[in-house]
């Protein structure tokens, strides 16, 4: 069973979902209408149930982050991804609050320095934005790069953390 809730945040509504193992998804507002499809893609056949109480701790930590009172998260994660993608996302998770690194550096720290595009793909498929702070990864040339939530949200998060 996948439990979910919808949280209002400064960047719009966020759908937050978890399995019995941990957090599975944070879905931006524009993707919420497709959330069952998104979840079923990784967890086929799982039923979804809205349960605001079950996700209270996660929502509280997200709210603390947006209010500037939290710099890291203490949430169990359930990442259903290929091993290299998981390794990349665990590398991204270690980027300190308010700091940024390049996709090239992420690939290097993930043990495959020539796999810059694969590192970028892993980042693009990050199901847990904000908790796994892919907004802290910039293009190798120093540009902002892309972001699943859109560049306006990426800029907001970087400014919130004082990185820009």
CATH of the domain at 46: 3.30.160
What does pTM read for this prediction? 0.94
142: pLDDT strictly greater than 80? no
CATH number, domain of 101, equals 1.10.10.10
Q: Is 134 a catalytic residue?
A: yes
How many domains are contained in the chain? 2
Chain mean pLDDT for the chain: 95
Same domain, 92 and 59: no
Domain span at residue 39? 2-66
pLDDT reported for residue 164: 79
pLDDT reported for residue 145: 86
Residue 110 lies in a domain: yes
What confidence tier does 114 reach under pLDDT thresholds 50, 70, 90? very high
Q: Which of 122, 134, 137, 163 is catalytic?
A: 134
Question: Span 66-94, mean pLDDT?
Answer: 96
* DSSP codes of every residue in 107-162: HHHTT-TT-HHHHHHHHHT-SSBTTB-GGGEE-TTSS----TT-HHHHHHHHHHTT
Same domain, 56 and 90: no
Residue 77 lies in a domain: no
Same domain, 62 and 100: no
Residue 76 lies in a domain: no
Residue 26 · residue 127 · CB < 8 Å? yes
């Amino acid at each position: 069973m996948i439990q979910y809730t919808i949280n209002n945040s400064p960047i719009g509504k966020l759908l937050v979902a978890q399995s019995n193992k941990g957090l599975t998804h944070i879905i931006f507002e524009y993707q919420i209408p497709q959330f069952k499809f998104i979840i079923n893609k990784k967890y086929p056949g799982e039923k979804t149930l809205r349960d605001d109480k079950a996700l209270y701790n996660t929502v509280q930590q997200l709210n603390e982050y947006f209010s500037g009172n939290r710099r890291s998260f203490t949430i169990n994660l359930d990442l259903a991804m290929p091993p290299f993608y998981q390794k990349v996302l665990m590398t991204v998770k270690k980027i300190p609050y308010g700091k940024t690194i390049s996709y090239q550096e992420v690939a290097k720290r993930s043990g495959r320095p020539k796999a810059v595009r694969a590192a970028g793909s892993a980042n693009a498929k990050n199901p847990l934005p904000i908790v796994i702070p892919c907004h802290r990864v910039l293009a190798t040339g120093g540009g902002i790069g892309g972001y699943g939530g859109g560049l306006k949200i990426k800029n907001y998060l970087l400014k919130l953390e004082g990185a820009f």
